[in-house]
Amino acid sequence: METKRMLGVLGGMGPMAGAAFALRLAALTPADRDQEHIPVLLLNDPRIPDRSTARLAGGEDPLPAMRAGIEFLNTSGADLIAIPCNTAHLWYDELAEASQCPVLHIIEAVADDLRRQGVARGRIGLMGTAATLALGLYQRTLEQHGYECIVPQDDEVESLCMTSIRAVKSNRLDDSLAPAVECVQRLRARGADAVVLGCTELPLAIPHAVRPSLGMVTTDSIDALALAVIEHYQKAGKLATHRD
């Protein structure tokens, strides 16, 4: 297909997060009719082997399937790629290397979103998968940007973060809210100035409507990545709507 611009999305990790990303991208785009929105090709492939299991328990390597997805999006006409899965960014360098077009980095998008929300320094509470947290995916980047990170204890990662994430992945959204909110509150009690929902299942666990009641800034890694896409196309002059 010939395209002037088309966002390729390597999704399916999990499938609800991939679809929610496409939905939030449409919702956040300044557009007045269909034709002003960003064309998106979403490969929502849930068969990609589990990222956390691969990194922490010697499970099947997801890189070949992710690389094949990146190559497919490139040959299908993508001129930019987004990967709405935080843990997948443990393989970011290999995926960016496999792509002819730029691949956005979700952790950088979250750091940008913290500044966008007025949190330019301070202590950032991190939530995410066991692999994302144990392997320091956020810590490296946020400390480079001058933030201090507060990470849940190992038992909290399992009983709060992973319990919430697994509930979303198995379509039990009602069960996902309480453990996620409990984790936010514990991080807040330990001095966090803001909390990163650093797994794309977590924004589904804590819906937008609930967040004002949390009493602190949260950064939603789905929305942050969608805003990074919109900014990319705006800067490239490829998002010219009547509102510009």
Contacts to a second copy by CB under 8 A: 1, 6, 12-16, 18-20, 22-23, 25-27, 29-50, 68-69, 72, 76, 166, 169-171, 173
User: Distance (Å, rounded) from C-alpha 200 to C-alpha 155?
Assistant: 21
Smallest distance, Å, CB 133 to a second copy? 19
Where are the extended beta strands (E) located within 156-214? 194-197
For a second copy, the closer of residues 5 and 186 by Cβ is 5
Cβ atoms of 184 and 175 closer than 8 Å: no
Smallest distance, Å, CB 185 to a second copy? 25
**Of 157, 155, 210, which is closest to residue 181 (Cα–Cα)?**
210
For a second copy, the closer of residues 43 and 187 by Cβ is 43
For a second copy, the closer of residues 6 and 196 by Cβ is 6
**Of 81, 65, 70, 67, which is closest to residue 21 (Cα–Cα)?**
81
Helices 106-116 and 137-144, axial angle in degrees (round to 10): 50
Record the tokens describing residue 61, joined without a space. Answer: 């390597």
For a second copy, the closer of residues 216 and 230 by Cβ is 230
Smallest distance, Å, CB 37 to a second copy? 4
Smallest distance, Å, CB 65 to a second copy? 10
User: Distance (Å, rounded) from C-alpha 8 to C-alpha 180?
Assistant: 30
**Of 219, 3, 20, 47, which is closest to residue 118 (Cα–Cα)?**
219
For a second copy, the closer of residues 69 and 125 by Cβ is 69
Q: Which residue has the tokens 């991080």?
A: 187
Counting every residue written for the chain, the total comes to: 244
User: Distance (Å, rounded) from C-alpha 137 to C-alpha 110?
Assistant: 12
Smallest distance, Å, CB 14 to a second copy? 4
Smallest distance, Å, CB 4 to a second copy? 9
For a second copy, the closer of residues 191 and 207 by Cβ is 207
Smallest distance, Å, CB 36 to a second copy? 7
User: Distance (Å, rounded) from C-alpha 84 to C-alpha 96?
Assistant: 14
For a second copy, the closer of residues 27 and 120 by Cβ is 27
